[in-house]
Chain A
Amino acid sequence: MKEFKVTPIRNGTVIDHINVGMALKVLKIIGVGGNVNSTVSVLMHVPSKKAGWKDIVKIEDRELDPKELDKIALISPNATINIIRDYNVAEKFVVEVPNIIKGIMKCANPGCITNQNEPVETEFVVESKKPITLRCVYCDRVTTEVADNVR
């Protein structure tokens, strides 16, 4: 019989196969802090058959919107999303890096106009998904430094 360190949730989302060490970053970018009303479980450094080690996040009574899924895809492209309804997995899918990234991360180039106080959404063209390589539509800077710039 399997031993559960964290009990199953009734309704909500389980984000599995998060790159090891990125669980807290996942919570930060989807805005889970001290202001939630349900239980949030964080498992870090869990053995994984695929990757050796992984992180898992379980958020009760919350489903993620497309922008939040895009953010997770950027910092952890292999993460899987399990939507739980009444203790059952209602939906399960791997996050997908979109071809265009809009408004969810800042440009790594400090000299880019989008890092000034301009009323504009950042926009990046995804030049490669493995490893994730983005080109800023505004300043043309190509970057692989993604995790630190997702907000």
Chain B
Amino acid sequence: MSTTFRGMDVVSIRDFSREQIEHVLKLAEKMVPIAKGEERSVLLEGHVLGSLFYEPSTRTRLSFDAAMTRLGGRVLGFDQPTGASVAKGETLADTIKMVDSYCDIIVLRHPQEGAARLAAHFANRPVINAGDGAGQHPTQTMLDLFTIRKEKKSIEGNHVVIVGDLKYGRTVHSLSEALAMFGAQLTFVAPPTLQIPKEHLKAIEEMGHKPKISGSLEEVIKDADVLYVTRIQKERFPDPAEYQKVAGTFRIDLAMLKDVKKDLIIMHPLPRVGEIAPEVDATEHARYFEQAFNGVPVRMALLGLVLGGLK
């Protein structure tokens, strides 16, 4: 397995087989005590991570930093392009070629779709995609899978209800395809204008699944094992009144959770903007902060595998 990961670019979840993802998730489990600071590690001592964030990010950037630092490595880079040569008009290709010579691995967040694939094209060092515009965000998908597996013991057989902006939401497309690959049963809940795009639905159906499509959360939430909530962005609606109406319909509060399964878990990639009422945080269902933490062990496992410290 180590030969397949060492030096590998992590650009899209589609680049990984189910076995490879399972291997990452198993190793991530072993990383948890180190991620929590309960154990020390020097696994990646002497290694340098180039962290290039062309867009603001809190969780992804900090969890990559935490993952690298907890394993004894170091991080250099920037968290906004202003002031960098980028602001002077340097191409991404040139920046990548330069940073490539300063570090052992590159983590890239960029507003343009396909930026990570381009970086991988120009870099000799492995590139990890930390989100490229509306495109891929493979480490988010892995940490989402990790969270479900950890909480539910397996992914297969769970009924996962995904609600929110399913048309433009970056995390939803790759997550839903990965969940289908792992044998989860899927239901997509969204207003008609923000439903899951046909090509993604088709990709899931080609894997032998028949996902449900619904416009009403009340109708499907009772049977859910996992409720995955994403943000509905105000700017998608030409009419603010229409936005208020839609956002209200998909808001998760205690009343909405009245008849749900006792072991339902609620996830959200964060940041949330009113989709989940703060009163839900204290319930036994909330898992979004654990999910955010899980980004650290999952990214530790990936860094270890790609840099060759783990097998």
* A interface residues (Cβ-Cβ under 8 A, vs B): 107, 109, 111-114, 116-120, 136-142
Residues of A within 8 A of B199 (CB): 142
CB distance from A121 to the nearest CB of B (A): 10
Q: Chain B's interface: helix, strand, loop or mixed, by majority? A: mixed
**With contacts A118-B118, A120-B118, A138-B118 known, is A113 near B136, CB below 8 A?**
no
- Top 4 nearest A-B pairs by Cβ distance? A138-B114, A139-B114, A139-B113, A113-B112
Which B residue's beta carbon lies closest to that of A109? B113
Please determine whether B118 and A113 come into contact, CB atoms closer than 8 angstroms: yes
Q: Verify if B215 is at the interface (C-beta below 8 Å from A).
A: no
Chain B interface size range: 20 to 34
* A120-B121, A140-B12 known; A112+B93 contact, CB < 8 A: no
Contact among A112, A136, A140 with B112 in the assembled complex (CB-CB below 8 Å): A112
Q: Is the CB of A141 within 8 A of B113?
A: yes
- Supply 29 A–B pairs (Cβ within 8 Å), ascending by A: A107-B114, A111-B113, A111-B134, A113-B92, A113-B112, A113-B132, A114-B114, A116-B92, A116-B112, A118-B92, A118-B118, A120-B93, A120-B118, A136-B114, A137-B114, A137-B117, A138-B113, A138-B117, A139-B113, A139-B114, A139-B117, A139-B132, A139-B133, A140-B12, A140-B14, A140-B135, A140-B136, A141-B113, A142-B199
Complex CA–CA separation, A141 to B173 (angstroms): 12
Q: Is the CB of A139 within 8 A of B92?
A: no
The reply to whether A112 and B114 contact each other, CB–CB distance below 8 Å, is yes
Cβ of B91 under 8 Å from chain A: yes
Taking CB atoms, residues of chain A closer than 8 Å to B14 are: 140
**Which chain B residues in 106-145 approach chain A with CB under 8 Å?**
110-115, 117-118, 121, 132-136
